[in-house]
Structure 1
Amino acid sequence: MDNYNVKINSLRLRNARLSKGYTMSELASKAGGLTRQAISNYELNKTNISIKNLKKIAEVLEFPYEYFLKNSRYELNQLNTSPIFFRSSRVDVRVESIYFQKFNQFYKIYKELEKYIDFPKLKLPRLDAKEEAVGLERGYDKGYIDKIAEETRELWGLGKKPINNLYDEMLRNGILISKIETEHKGTDGFSLISGETSMVFINTNRGNCVRDRFSLAHELGHIILHSSLEQEEKYDYKQIEEDANYFASTFLLPDEGFVKDIYSIDISALLEIKKKWKVSLAAIIMRLEYLNIIDENQKRNMFITLSRKGWRKKEPFDDELEKESSTFFEDAIELLVNNDVLEIDELISEFEIGERRVIDLLGLSDEFFQKYNKKPTTPILKLVK
């Protein structure tokens, strides 16, 4: 059986390899007994592959080998998506390819679930065409970003108050989010837009509560302001990051509600603001300057104070404020299983990419699927009749 040759889904093989960040030579070496040319032939569909070699490759790539024998469903086409927006730093092509494939797998899970579940539809404000054209070319006017942030809050029914759980609010309004571990240490979050589907990953290795919230708001800014950018389009990376940062600031700290809470610009008073609004001192100081509550010199002195106290990398309350989370995908899976739509094994089979990868991409606990796999035990004791 293992020596039997089969035709595989070459696109899935290539995408799986890219998702691990391997070159063809690296994959051949890790699988053992294969050459770069052999991997190339498999990916170009020039030759069939033995089940034995397919199993070796699948083990290295951490996919069920059957995955490569099935037709593609719900695969993202990179030509029809936005660029991946990375918060904090640029990444090389190889890293970007890894995360595109993670989005591809996340998208596939979502589309499989969407066959059975009526997920929230994407709810975002419409941009003025002229403002968008100018914004994408030269950067958005800050006043217009203020307007769009305010419209988003109104559309989502958030008012001018602090947002209790931004994670839940974004999911509730049609934006798919997951927290994943990533080895790329320079990135807090990243997002991708494909048609009406907007996806965000947050790096669990980087953030605390306030950092995660700013990253979410930053990616929301990209989704609203930069969804029309195309993969091959040249754009000013620094400018779109500045626009997304400003959107995050004005969205999390709307001037009307935020200013009412400012009774002093003393650092101790601003720490109380941080606890209430769950935004960093650094972001609060930047917002105060933009709203003309402090001037450039005051801002500089406040940042000097933060540095002197050792608060530039870690601020007070960073560890005390609880990280936000959601049971969105757990609820979706439980809805299907508890209503006898699908057995858990059937659902994992439909996902196709393996239980471990589903757990990682949806941010589930390692024990999540185990509770469905417990078989009823035969009682040892009986009542006396």
Structure 2
Amino acid sequence: MGFNYRQLIFAREYRGLTQSELAKNIVGLSQSNLSKYEKGFGLLSDEMVLKIIDFLGFPESWLDHNISNLPENAHYRKRTTITKKIKTEIEYSIRLIGYLVDQMSNSIEWPEVRLVPLDIEEGYTPEIIAKNTRKLLRILPNEPVKSIFTLLENFGIIVIEFEITEKFDGVSFITDKGNPVIILNKSFTNDRKRFTLAHELGHLMMHDFPIPYHRNIEKIKENEANRFASEFLMPAEFIKNSLFNLKLSSLGQLKSYWLTSMASIIRRAKDLSCISESHFTYLTIELSRDGKKKNEDGFVFIDEPSLFIEAYKLHKNELDYSDLELSNAFNIPVDVIQRFFNTSRLRIIK
């Protein structure tokens, strides 16, 4: 029948099973034959392939698809200590979310993408691109970025937040059908969410062009995205004067206005040469006392994303789909629908 063996790999790894673990659960399946099949050698009968996919809880029609949303095209903001198993589960979850976004586009219209990226390889700096992005989003030069979820969604970026391991901040990518998506950790503080959103927006605005190979390219792109986020949230022209000889007592007021963390304000002061290296170290140490760096004083408002869940509700309420009917229409297990829509959460154990 010519099944797509890559879809079987997808289903197995999404379920968190190794080849050995899967083979032990399927009568007549050897790890050796499964390994060869997953390399494209086709040594399994159609009957065995269907038995495997049924055990994994995926429909037969799943095998006819070709989902890419390739992880290598995604921009991650994560810690280096994240385990391979967690990274794999996150990556396949992200690819499924991208697939769901594209499937829903067959029956609904996502907002038009109204942001135009600039190629950083053509000489634009992250700061110039951040300023241009603020103009595109119609944010006044001296104003903080407010209602950031709504702002990005109105300009065509689909934003989704889930509870993920604390070692993962966020990811941005373009789906197979060209829809820009940002996913971030729901459990983080509001100021951290805002910086992560700005960071991932920076990737979408700067890094979706072919880039010449460089062994440190990921580190370079992360630094550029941080520079973009800092300028996007705290424009140098309008924050710089308040950062000279920065005092701890000033941080609360600055945080309240710019809606960014005290730690990021201190970093901004250093990057703009408003304070010395020693003063930066002093402020950072003082902020870290009594755990205040992780749990800063001062509330930062943030709105909530709605596009992804509203699209699901539209399918349910207006188009009259049940979860089972959606799973059949999208050729995925019903538990995937319930995981990503009903709970709006992605739980991955450390």
TM > 0.5 fold call: yes
**Residue type of the alignment partner of 1:351:** F
Structure 2: 5+ residue runs without aligned partners? 346-350
Percent pairwise identity: 27
**Residue type of the alignment partner of 2:325:** E
Matches within 5 A, 1:51-62: 54=50, 58-59=54-55, 61=56
In the alignment, the residues of structure 1 paired with residue 332 and residue 207 of structure 2 have an alpha-carbon distance, to the nearest angstrom, of 30
1:381 match:
none
1:175 match:
157
Q: Does 1:357 align with 2:349?
A: no
**Residue type of the alignment partner of 1:24:** Q
Select 1:147's aligned residue among 110, 128, 140.
128
**Residue type of the alignment partner of 1:202:** L
In the alignment, the residues of structure 1 paired with residue 199 and residue 139 of structure 2 have an alpha-carbon distance, to the nearest angstrom, of 17
In the alignment, the residues of structure 2 paired with residue 362 and residue 258 of structure 1 have an alpha-carbon distance, to the nearest angstrom, of 40
Q: Structure 1 309/101 Cα, relative in aligned 2: closer, same or farther at 3 Å? A: closer
Matches within 5 A, 1:1-385: 8-29=3-24, 34-40=29-35, 43=38, 44=40, 45-50=42-47, 54=50, 58-59=54-55, 61=56, 63-68=57-62, 70-72=63-65, 75-76=67-68, 78=70, 82-90=72-80, 96-128=87-119, 131-132=120-121, 144-160=125-141, 161-183=143-165, 185-194=166-175, 196-205=178-187, 207-229=188-210, 234-259=215-240, 265-317=246-298, 320-321=299-300, 324-340=303-319, 342=321, 345-362=324-341, 364-365=343-344
**Residue type of the alignment partner of 1:116:** S
Query: What SS does the aligned partner of 2:158 have?
Result: strand
Structure 1: 5+ residue runs without aligned partners? 1-5, 135-139, 367-385
In the alignment, the residues of structure 1 paired with residue 170 and residue 227 of structure 2 have an alpha-carbon distance, to the nearest angstrom, of 16
Shift of 1:210: 1.1
In the alignment, the residues of structure 1 paired with residue 213 and residue 50 of structure 2 have an alpha-carbon distance, to the nearest angstrom, of 34
Equivalent residues of 2:192, 2:261 under 8 A apart: yes
In the alignment, the residues of structure 2 paired with residue 25 and residue 95 of structure 1 have an alpha-carbon distance, to the nearest angstrom, of 19
Shift of 1:248: 1.0
Equivalent residues of 1:176, 1:198 under 8 A apart: yes
Query: What SS does the aligned partner of 1:87 have?
Result: strand
**Residue type of the alignment partner of 1:89:** R
Equivalent residues of 2:99, 2:175 under 8 A apart: no
1:380 match:
none
Shift of 1:150: 0.9
Shift of 1:155: 0.4
Q: What is the aligned length?
A: 340
Report the TM-score, using the length of structure 2 for normalisation.
Answer: 0.81
Shift of 1:32: 6.7
Equivalent residues of 1:214, 1:279 under 8 A apart: yes
Shift of 1:270: 1.2
Equivalent residues of 1:122, 1:174 under 8 A apart: yes
Shift of 1:249: 1.0
Equivalent residues of 2:270, 2:276 under 8 A apart: yes
Report the TM-score, using the length of structure 1 for normalisation.
Answer: 0.75
Shift of 1:76: 1.5
Query: What SS does the aligned partner of 1:201 have?
Result: strand
Equivalent residues of 1:178, 1:363 under 8 A apart: no
1:371 match:
none
In the alignment, the residues of structure 2 paired with residue 291 and residue 263 of structure 1 have an alpha-carbon distance, to the nearest angstrom, of 9
Shift of 1:334: 2.8
The structure with the largest alpha-carbon Rg is 1
